[in-house]
Structure 1
């Protein structure tokens, strides 16, 4: 009995000691206890739902939905990747994948088609062309099944595929293509836009991006470039060190490019340029838009903070967060936000509100009271909290309703496929022109196509009718509404005539895409690209260029 009492006392003392120890570390332990408790609750609930729910449940899907919902409460960039998506993550991070080297898409009538063979890769070498419809792959029917086609078009490098394609004017063809490791270039285009201004289009920040930019700059200078445009529009970012190295091309060694600050001390770091700059003096214009994000914003922000180049276009996306990929169990991964980054002036360009964005993805309006002012090297005022603001804001021209509808319906692409005449040709896009005869052929061809388009004012009149009906007041304004509807009704011939220059341009883009691939589309865009035109104008005016960067 005595031994039993002693044992009870010891247990009580141990319990008291544990309680006292917990009391002193309660703030820290509370959090871990809550984590363990909620994990237990979640596991129990997950088990019971799978065991008792009335219908069969796919445990993988319900788990992924739960994880995605949990992470969505944090930020848009902290995401989970199950094992079957790891290959996509690798492609995103490296730009490499095993494939045929072509953009394949679902086009009109759900046809699976070659949209753009990548220059120099397997698809182009094998003779695949824009507009080829893929019928089967190794004898497996993939007609009008984009998902199945995508699955079979990727695989182990060096293996071969036999594609049966339908080519307009030639019928069915069997084409053998060898899969290869596709290392997507970060610089798909560089070239001269006039006699002394070169342009470098940078679409990614995967490994070797800085080497590609440096090589392009040197080649442009050999071709006579005395000024350069760095096009970051549509570039969603990538590797931080590549952003530092690309900035280093234009600024001297030892300059601060970006600072990262996170919850953990090891996430705090400063990144400075390590090499001698390639060209510290060449006049520079950087193009950005609402899709320029992350590493693109580091480069643009650095050029702006050091007054190294003028920024032209529209406010950038506003992603000032740094992610790291973490391995999880069962070969899954998570990309988690570990820090915020700050440009050399000290500003964080992360959008204050993740959800407050316009339809085009641009940052919504931010109250002045929520922004902090910073200064560039020359004393120009710049702000944080919502992307990089350009020095020259260029408002994009809105396309006419009929042009938008023609694009949405893939009718320029389809016209290119069905065109039976001789396509205008040239070594570069500037040598290609679309005659009135071709334009009239397009109009005649369009008469046999289905086309439905609605202008903004037609939508407003339709809303007026709906409101009047809902309020029971249509009878009072019936004649006026009908008069408005008549006044704004579509007239295809008139609308085509009013938009003929827009239409002419997109026919040209379609034709040059077939002859010159992506390079042709990019070159053709220069004729209507207001950002590029403004960059050329500013770079060609040394006094204005210096004045803007000087803060005067």
Structure 2
């Protein structure tokens, strides 16, 4: 029989119960609406249909129960009058007293209720869980109360400012500023993602979106113009769009002065539709006029490849090369496909995996990528966090790379996050050798939580550990305030430059004004661990290479030319005068001198745009206030000296500048895969790795995988 208790303990029977069974639970349905209901409203009305049901209240139950006991009570007539027998000459007080005594006896006797055993077991289990959860959650009551208090305060403050501030305010901007200020006090990776940012983050992690395959940006020289930075191979590039083209209209809508996100929305759309784009391309006309042309681009499901380049290196027998530039959903699948294609040739003896400038991505993608390289049943990475718990990710698939194929992984200071997971697994399991420079050192794990209104919250939930048990996080973050801020050296530098000459924001991503406290892990606090074969590795500072190979840092002139867009715009001018590039194209002396003249035409503006100028202006104003005229003159002389030094860099760093200029010009004629392949000719770190793999049948490679000889104890 189904049953339920009201809030005040009154017992009700449901109206004409009809049993149903769902997952082993005995349920009952309302006669009026046939809907499952256990509890009924006070007074006998069903909660669902609001109509009276066949209910026996407690009083009627009591009388019925006493009637069942009447034969026993008849026997008491010999010893005295029966208070319930009609016609007994009893006072009203005596009657009430007898009723009360019978009621007490009724309550003292157990009431037998038939309950199905499965329901009893389930109720017991659920009740136990509830009690455990209740007890475990009890300590958080104070915290929850505090949270509700702060949320209410934020609501009051935001409401008062929106309605009462002297000038109208942007509610969205005000809210995001408040949230960014809160999250910015934790670490640089905890961020609130608004509508556009959340969508872009989803595109980056999935690696797919409906669009035309263009990378666009605002022009450095004319910010109101939208220029093409990159036309993807297999998409817009195949339709004739090139880097340097200016977007004039999209489906007849002029885009000059339009925000970049709005232009992006016009270009993207439902796959299978078409969009007409009007472009302007530079010409050699004396008046500087541009050539206008229209291109009809099909919107497709654009896939951003994690592996943009792979293949066998011609001049080295049996050596393959794979560049892995990101860790989106398909990273592991693309890496396996590249390895399988090279293995099928039967010539693969060694592999170079290039993880330089790879900022990372999805944890699952990193695990799948490592599975293609390390033995089955190997531990790849583990994660730990206060709410995350501890999880160990194992390789449960056979690797694509044969065990007898030598492996070198290339890293640099911009190899981060998921890329470090792969490099750490390869190193700790002694599957290969790391060549290059120390990696960025990001050992934190973020979770992306979807929020209402198409927004998201990305926040740090734990740390990850390589198979040897080390955490390679190089910076310790601590909650700060608006008045305290400290940035580690790795985060206060200038934007770095990828091999294609593109200026890329420095890691980690900016999150407004940083208010978190951060300190680098001191060398003295770094602990030692052992790899599978006993080699010594350390935590707290990224992945250190087994063989260090460095490249010359970009000169001040290179940075000036890149930030000023000199390579980009000169390449536009040069490409306007020719129809194609020769196969053996290089920047010869004649072309290099032409580039110098182009740059020096605008040398007068260098004084205002060098990174030294802000400091010099501060000194100038300070000297002016003090009346130090001679000091001001010395600063002017210093400015001229800086410009002279920059000009001399054309000779001191000619090779590096020629390489960047060649790559920028190739971008106007060749797809990305050919351009990246051509750039490998100048890659010093790659050359070091190739020598390590091939000289004396890889003897040096094998030595690096052996543990260092232990110092004898005396």
- Whether the TM-score (by the shorter chain) exceeds 0.5 is yes
1:44 deviates by 2.4
Q: 1:216 aligns with which of 311, 325, 338?
A: 338
Q: Tell whether 2:646 aligns with 1:509.
A: no
For structure 1, the residue ranges without an aligned partner over 5 or more in a row are: 1-21
Matched, 1:149 2:302: no
For residue 53 of structure 1, what is the aligned residue in structure 2?
A: 165
For residue 466 of structure 2, what is the aligned residue in structure 1?
343
Distance in 2, Cα, partners of 1:70 & 1:52: 23
Return closer, same or farther for 1:446/1:386 CA change in 2, 3 Å cut-off: closer
Whole-angstrom distance in 2 between the partners of 1:99 and 1:509? 26
- What residue is the counterpart of 1:90 in the other structure? 202
For the residues of structure 1 that align with 2:669 and 2:536, how far apart are their CA atoms?
A: 46
Q: Which has the higher helix share?
A: 1
The match for 2:323 is 201
Provide closer, same or farther for how the CA distance between residues 306 and 48 of structure 1 changes in structure 2, counting only shifts above 3 A. Answer: same
Per-residue deviation at 1:257? 0.5
1:409-428 superposed matches below 5 A: 409-419=564-574, 420-422=576-578, 425-426=581-582
Query: How big is the shift at 1:487?
Result: 5.9
Between 1:443-452 and 1:380-389, the stretch displaced more is 443-452
TM-score, normalization: structure 2? Answer: 0.67
Matches within 5 A, 1:247-396: 247-264=370-387, 267-278=389-400, 279-354=402-477, 355-358=487-490, 359=493, 366-396=521-551
Distance 1:498 1:396 in 2: 15
Does residue 677 of structure 2 align to residue 545 of structure 1?
no
Task: Tell me the equivalent position of 1:172.
Answer: 292
Q: Which runs of 5+ in 2 are unaligned?
A: 1-133, 284-289, 478-486, 495-505, 509-518, 709-714
Partner of 1:159: 273
* Bigger mean CA offset, 177-186 vs 392-401: 392-401
Q: Distance in 2 between matches of 1:461 and 1:152?
A: 42
Question: Conserved in 1, the CA contact under 8 Å of 2:360 and 2:416?
Answer: yes
* Cα RMSD for the two superposed structures: 3.3
Query: Are residues 1:408 and 2:577 paired?
Result: no
Pair 1:441 & 2:562 matched:
no
Q: Is the 8 A contact 2:207 2:303 kept in 1?
A: yes
Question: What is the DSSP-based 3-state SS (H/G/I as helix, E as strand, rest coil) of the residue aligned with 2:489?
Answer: coil
Alpha carbons of structure 1 residues 347 and 53: separation in structure 2 relative to 1, 3 Å: same
CA distance in 2 between partners of 1:435 and 1:171 (Å): 28
Partner in structure 1 of residue 678 of structure 2: 524
Secondary structure class of the residue paired with 1:269: strand
Equivalent in the alignment of 1:17:
none
| Kept in 2: contact 1:287–1:311 (CA 8 A) | yes
Q: d(CA) in 2 for partners of 1:90 and 1:23?
A: 38
Maintained 8 Å contact 2:587/2:662:
yes
Tell me if the contact between 1:402 and 1:495 (Cα under 8 Å) persists in the aligned partners.
yes
User: Given the alignment, which residue of 276, 279, 303 partners 1:183?
Assistant: 303
Displacement, 1:230?
1.0
Task: Measure, in 1, the Cα distance between the counterparts of 2:603 and 2:266.
Answer: 32
Retained in 1: the 8 A contact 2:275–2:296?
yes
Correspondence for 1:73 among 180, 185, 207 = 185
